[in-house]
């Protein structure tokens, strides 16, 4: 080995922003009741699974995928009632779309603004795309603090604003009128991230034509397709046409394209599963609220945020009892002693509530 190459280390070669990052942590979950990642717990009906098996068997995986994903985009346009004249850009999960947007606007000094606490990838991607990140605190009840938000937008002049609607990890849906005011004041793009649209009360997709700087992002991950990795951005062709230049040509593979298009023909099946999850959310909210010492936050998503004394010990106690949820304690000051549980099946809820009660009793 030459002396030159042996002097090369990650520390002296990589960008400081990269060295300062912590990788997004995905804990092992084999054998656990898995309620940490907002997945849909239900499998598809057998007949649909058989259809998919046939599609996959005949798929031309020796060829590159359709780079324009025409069939899949048409299916998405149909199920989302996309307003006339609007277009779609596909991502390998919506995470990839956040990254693409950040790369597109990251001029020196450009700002990505969101609220805190919210989805951690906004901050992480801003940092590694070389943008300045500004996180505006939510009010104490996790609603939008509109005055502070409008001031921050005017002061920071963000190129990109992300608002998760409903928000992760708090679970609430912000006031739509407040978001409209932010869109009107924002000097750049405002992306309303509707990852949890299937469990929410309304959507900004019908408003796409009204605000030239509005884009709406969605993922199919929470609707039963987390394993396919598929998200999309909806908006005016003037924006999406430019962003398409940054999309890697074959970012959505042959199999995800085929399977997702087939599943969207059966969107009703997926929405019926989402409906079951919403019903179970009501049951789980009530069960959590009835446990002494647990403070539950309202949810318009497929997960529930709650606060409990000694959250980290409770989280570990749950894990020992075979139940994996998400520990948010220590992540953000507003989330001290907070835990987040995904709404699963009734059976999973029972196991989780029993394990929680048992852990609390043991710690008492
Ligand atoms: N946006 C929000 C608000 C999320 O909570 C998530 C997933 N946790 C995503 C985007 C990313 O989803 P995916 O990459 O699976 O499409």
Q: Is 172 in the pocket of ligand 1 (CB under 6 A)?
A: no
Q: Whole-number mean pLDDT of the chain?
A: 96
Each residue's pLDDT tens digit, 8-40: 999 999 999 899 888 888 888 999 999 999 999
Q: What share of the chain in percent tops pLDDT 90?
A: 94
Ligand 1 centroid vs 339 CA: distance in angstroms?
A: 18
Each residue's pLDDT tens digit, 40-49: 999 999 999 9
- Specify the residue for token string 């987040």: 340
* pLDDT over 80 (residue 68): yes
Ligand 1 centroid vs 166 CA: distance in angstroms?
A: 11
Ligand 1, atom 1, lies closest to the CA of 195
* pLDDT over 80 (residue 2): no
Q: Is 252 in the pocket of ligand 1 (CB under 6 A)?
A: no
The model's pTM is 0.96
Q: Is 119 in the pocket of ligand 1 (CB under 6 A)?
A: yes
- Specify the residue for token string 């450009």: 110
Q: Does the CA dihedral 251-256-262-265 come out positive or negative?
A: negative
* pLDDT over 80 (residue 5): no
Provide the 3-class DSSP secondary structure of residue 99: helix
Q: Is 40 in the pocket of ligand 1 (CB under 6 A)?
A: no
Ligand 1 centroid vs 95 CA: distance in angstroms?
A: 6
Residue (of 333, 63, 83) closest to 207 by Cα position:
83
CA distance 62 to 47: 27
Q: Is 94 in the pocket of ligand 1 (CB under 6 A)?
A: yes
Listed in sequence order, the DSSP H helices in the chain are 3-6, 10-13, 16-20, 46-58, 70-80, 94-105, 120-128, 146-156, 176-185, 237-244, 254-265, 267-289, 311-320, 346-363
Each residue's pLDDT tens digit, 300-316: 999 999 999 999 999 99
Residue (of 45, 91, 100, 119) closest to 256 by Cα position:
91
CA distance 50 to 52: 5
CA distance 330 to 298: 21
Ligand 1 centroid vs 67 CA: distance in angstroms?
A: 23
Mean pLDDT confidence for 191-208: 97
Residues contacting residue 246 through CB under 8 Å, at least 6 positions apart: 100, 103, 104
Q: What share of the chain in percent tops pLDDT 70?
A: 99
Ligand 1 centroid vs 75 CA: distance in angstroms?
A: 21
* pLDDT over 80 (residue 4): no
Ligand 1, atom 2, lies closest to the CA of 195
Q: Is 193 in the pocket of ligand 1 (CB under 6 A)?
A: yes
Angle between the N-to-C axes of helices 311-320 and 346-363, in degrees from 0 to 180, rounded to the nearest 10: 120
Q: Is 194 in the pocket of ligand 1 (CB under 6 A)?
A: no
Residue to mutate (ligand 1; options 92, 168, 304; most atoms within 8 A of CB): 168
Q: Is 221 in the pocket of ligand 1 (CB under 6 A)?
A: yes
Each residue's pLDDT tens digit, 157-185: 999 999 999 999 999 999 999 999 999 99
Each residue's pLDDT tens digit, 257-302: 999 999 999 999 999 999 999 999 999 999 999 999 999 999 999 9
Residue (of 22, 21, 19) closest to 10 by Cα position:
19
Q: Is 342 in the pocket of ligand 1 (CB under 6 A)?
A: no
Each residue's pLDDT tens digit, 215-268: 999 999 999 999 999 999 999 999 999 999 999 999 999 999 999 999 999 999
Whole-number pLDDT of residue 24:
80
């Amino acid at each position: 080995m030459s002396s030159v190459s042996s002097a090369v280390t990650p520390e002296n070669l990589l960008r400081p922003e990269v060295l300062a990052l912590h990788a997004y942590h995905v804990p092992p979950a084999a054998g656990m009741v898995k309620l940490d990642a907002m997945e849909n717990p239900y499998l598809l009906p057998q007949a649909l699974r058989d259809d998919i098996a046939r599609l996959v068997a005949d798929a031309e995986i020796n060829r590159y995928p359709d780079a324009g994903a025409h069939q899949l985009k048409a299916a998405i346009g149909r199920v989302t009632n996309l307003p006339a004249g609007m277009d779609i850009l596909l991502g390998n999960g919506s995470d990839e779309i956040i990254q693409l947007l950040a790369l597109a606007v990251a001029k020196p000094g450009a700002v990505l603004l969101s609220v805190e606490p919210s989805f951690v990838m906004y901050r992480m991607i801003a940092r590694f795309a070389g943008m300045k990140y500004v996180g505006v605190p939510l009010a104490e009840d996790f609603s939008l603090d509109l005055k502070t938000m409008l001031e921050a937008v005017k002061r920071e002049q963000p190129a990109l604003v992300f608002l998760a609607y409903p928000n992760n990890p708090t679970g609430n849906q912000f006031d739509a009128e407040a978001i409209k005011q932010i869109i009107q004041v924002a000097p750049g793009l405002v992306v309303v991230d509707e990852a949890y649209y299937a469990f929410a009360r309304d959507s900004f997709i019908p408003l796409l034509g009204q605000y030239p700087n509005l884009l709406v992002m969605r993922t199919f991950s929470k609707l039963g397709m987390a394993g396919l990795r598929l998200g999309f951005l909806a908006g005016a062709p003037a924006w999406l046409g430019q962003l398409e230049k940054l999309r890697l040509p074959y970012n959505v593979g042959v199999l995800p394209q085929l399977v997702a298009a087939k599943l969207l023909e059966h969107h009703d099946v997926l929405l019926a599963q989402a409906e079951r999850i919403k019903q179970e959310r009501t049951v789980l909210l009530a069960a959590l609220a009835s446990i002494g010492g647990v403070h539950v936050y309202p949810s318009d998503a497929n997960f529930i945020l709650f606060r409990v004394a000694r959250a980290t010990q409770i989280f570990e106690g749950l894990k020992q009892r075979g139940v994996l949820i998400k520990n948010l304690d220590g992540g953000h000051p507003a989330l001290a002693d907070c835990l987040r549980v995904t709404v699963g099946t009734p059976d999973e809820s029972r196991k989780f509530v029993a394990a929680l009660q048992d852990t609390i009793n043991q710690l008492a």
